[in-house]
Amino acid sequence: MPQTHTTRTQVERENRMLLALQVAGCTAIAIIWSMEWWNGDLSPWDRWAYPALMVIQGGCAALLTWWPHRAEWARVMAVLALKGYLVIALNQALFASPFQPYQLVTTLFWLPLGYGTAFVFLNLRAALLSSAALYLATYGTVLWNLTWGEPPPWPDYVRPMMSNLAIAQIVYVIVLLAISQLKASYTRSQATVEVMRQMAATDPLTGLLNRRAMADHLAANHALVLRGTQPMSVILLDADHFKHINDRRGHATGDRVLMKLSSLLRSQLRTSDRLARWGGEEFLVMVPATGLEASCELAERIRRAVATADWEPGLGVTISLGVAECRSHDTVDSLMARVDRALYAAKSAGRDRVCAEESDEPAEALSPSASSG
């Protein structure tokens, strides 16, 4: 499903981002740790909390690298570790005696990161819940202490600063919420675009490429042929007397035949080959990196597979096939004109056979039936 593919790509991108953040986080903590230790500002709490955070981040990085199927754990662990650290560090700074302004301010620097990472790496519900918990655990304790507890001996600027920050963090969460909504709608439109892109390239009855999509593949491979990078052949095939099947057995049977035909064709091809429904009961196979002779052999294999398939009782289905190889002077149109002539030759020669293009090089009908027909 395209939507699943889009979502998976996005998850992989987020995991890579999380891994980069873990590495950056570990580096940042190591630098801050050494700077504070050097300046004598390292608090007793940070002496242990910094290495603990680094170990947790290293664990998340290991999970993301070696057990990507456990990436969800790494996301939750990384976000909770950061939030837990911020809550304890902030409360320590505010309520430790003596009051520690340096630790308070340096912790507040990082507080927005606690909210931001949650909205990036968790789903919306988890991000909101964990942000509410972070908010309550930081400002709730301040409010509780100021309202009911023993007023801490803070300098005058701390109370207004904390009130200001309490409001700023609410605004911060609202902005993050808006961004995550935009992100969700962007992801949804990406998925819709992907579905529409698929629909524009697919034949609804058989699920094969349609003519427009095949034309793009032909143009791309034709360019490679012109550069001399690799050969390319095409096989144009058409169900024989298909009108009779429709007329005698009804349109629904005709549709079933086309569907079975497409899966039979698919089963005979390599993944590098391209198969399209070229028109009503006409299919086109693009065979990259393959010359005329090998493509004729493939066409013959396909013919035989169809002729000997287990069709509905009384319904013998055969196909005629034309094969052409792209030459250096060919345009896509001239190549298609030649393969069309080859198909016409197969039809004229009695159907249920393979005919190679007419060319200056030796190329002849390969089917056993063709040689007799």
Ligand X SMILES: Nc1nc2c(ncn2[C@@H]2O[C@H](COP(=O)(O)OP(=O)(O)OP(=O)(O)O)[C@@H](O)[C@H]2O)c(=O)[nH]1
Residues within the interface to ligand X (CB under 6 A): 205, 238-243, 246, 251, 254-255, 258, 280-281, 347, 351
137 — phi, psi (to 5°)?
-70, -25
Rank residues 85 and 242 by Cβ distance to ligand X and give the closer one. 242
251: Cβ contacts below 8 Å, ≥ 6 apart: none
To ligand X, the closest distance from the beta carbon of 235 in angstroms equals 16
**Three-point CA angle 310, 286, 326, nearest 5°:** 135
Would you say 149 or 207 has its CB closer to ligand X? 207
Q: Are 56 and 81 in contact (CB under 8 A)?
A: yes
- Which tokens in the block code for residue 110? 């990082």
The span from the CA of 83 to the CA of 67, in Å, is 24
Nearer to ligand X, 5 or 243 (CB): 243
Provide, rounded to whole angstroms, the least separation between the CB of residue 364 and ligand X. 22
Closest CB 191 distance from ligand X, rounded Å: 29
Supply the minimum distance, in Å, between the C-beta of residue 372 and ligand X: 19
- For the bound state, the minimum distance from the C-beta of residue 3 to ligand X, rounded and expressed in Å, comes to 27
Residue 234 DSSP code: E
CB 274 within 8 A of CB 217: yes
Nearest distance in Å: CB 367, ligand X: 15
Residue 283 Cα to chain centre, angstroms: 29
Query: Which residue, 93 or 319, has its beta carbon nearer to ligand X?
Result: 319
The stretches of the chain forming alpha helices (DSSP H) are 2-39, 44-66, 71-95, 101-121, 124-135, 141-147, 158-201, 211-226, 242-249, 251-268, 292-307, 332-348, 368-372
Residue with tokens 């009961």: 281
Cα distances (angstroms) measured from residue 140 to each of 81, 227, 272: 19, 70, 62
159 vs 347 by CB, closer to ligand X: 347
Q: Which residue lies nearer to ligand X by CB, 240 or 325? A: 240
Q: State in angstroms the smallest separation of the CB of 190 from ligand X.
A: 32
Please name every residue paired with 319 in a beta bridge, in sequence order, or none if there are none. 239
Nearer to ligand X, 207 or 280 (CB): 280
Distance, in Å, from the CA atom of 33 to the CA atom of 361, rounded to the nearest integer, reads: 77
